[in-house]
Amino acid sequence: MEENTTMTYTQAVTELEQLVLKMQDPQCSIDNLSAYTKRCKELLDICRSRLTAADEQLKQILATMQPAATDNGHPQSQKTP
């Protein structure tokens, strides 16, 4: 189990997928379900945190970009009289 601060989004998703497969296996012990479920929640929290951080970074980057003269997000075309 990796630390939350060093685990990437991709690593968290990969581990989450592996745990889901284990939980879906008919041979999965009921004794392991609680631990698997707890770890899945931790992984989902990591994914949510990484996605939120990426969203904030993208918003900051986009906020610093100076848009050209736009009309609803689309460049205005030069109209000739």
Q: Note the pLDDT tens digit of each residue in 16-39.
A: 999 999 999 999 999 999 999 999
> Which pLDDT belongs to residue 74?
60
Q: Which two tokens stand for residue 78?
A: 């030069």
Torsion of CA 8, 12, 10, 1, to 10 degrees: 60
> Which pLDDT belongs to residue 2?
46
Domain spans of the chain?
A: 33-63
Average pLDDT estimate for 41-48: 97
| pTM of the model as a whole | 0.70
Report the percentage of the chain scoring pLDDT > 70.
74
pLDDT at 3 over 70: no
